[in-house]
Amino acid sequence: MKRHYLATLPLMALLMGAPPSRAEAPIDSGLEARVAANVQQLLITNHCQRCYLVGADLSQTHLIGADLRGADLRGADLSWSNLEGADLTGASVTHANLTGAFLTNASLVNANLDHGNFAQAQLYYVDVTGASMENLNLAQATVVGTPISIGGGTVPAEPGNHLPIFVPDEEHPLVPPQNLWLVPHPHTPDILDVPTHIIPHA
């Protein structure tokens, strides 16, 4: 009788909302490790096609020309990042934070941008062909030559019509985010960064 009672304890704990056991813990930690590995790959190579980057912290990051085609960036933090010329074709960027992001000549073709936060972002001639754009936050954003609107639709391009401009200012300069915490450098596999204290002296 005692053995039967003890055997039912795990089931009772589950029904009463007890925290997950250690056997279940690796599920979340595994996803976190996957995101961390993909972030590292992106920062080193500037390429991460179809990468899992859900909730990734990429704020204040230098991502000029980054290849993020098909990447899963749901809920990611890309605030104040430089995404000039970045390719996010087919990427999922729903609920992502792009506050203050610099998106000159970036590609968001067929991307899912629903519920994205583009407040204070600078969008200059961004290709949003086929992108889903529901419930966007464009507060204080500068949008030039990009058919995008607060309501989520695109403005059809008609002959003789200019593309929409929000917060228009003819003298408004292109100002990429400053003080980025990481600026990737070209990969140079033939050069080793050897600490000075271990270099043999003659």
What is the reported pLDDT for 29? 78
Full residue range of the structural domain in which residue 159 is found: 47-175
199 is a domain residue = no
What are the mean pLDDT values of the chain's consecutive 10-residue runs (202 residues total)? Answer: 46 48 55 95 97 97 98 98 98 98 97 98 97 96 87 43 45 55 47 50 52
Q: Calculate the dihedral angle through the C-alpha atoms of 159, 144, 72, 110, rounding to the nearest 10 degrees.
A: 0
| Number of structural domains the chain divides into | 1
Question: DSSP label at 43?
Answer: H
Residue 1 to residue 129: CA distance in whole angstroms: 68
pTM of the complete model: 0.65
* CATH number assigned to the domain comprising residue 142: 2.160.20.80
86 is a domain residue = yes
Beta bridge partners of 127: 107
Tally the residues of the chain: 202
170 is a domain residue = yes
Residue 67 to residue 107: CA distance in whole angstroms: 10
What is the reported pLDDT for 28? 73
What is the token pair recorded at 67? 């290849």
What is the token pair recorded at 124? 């200059």
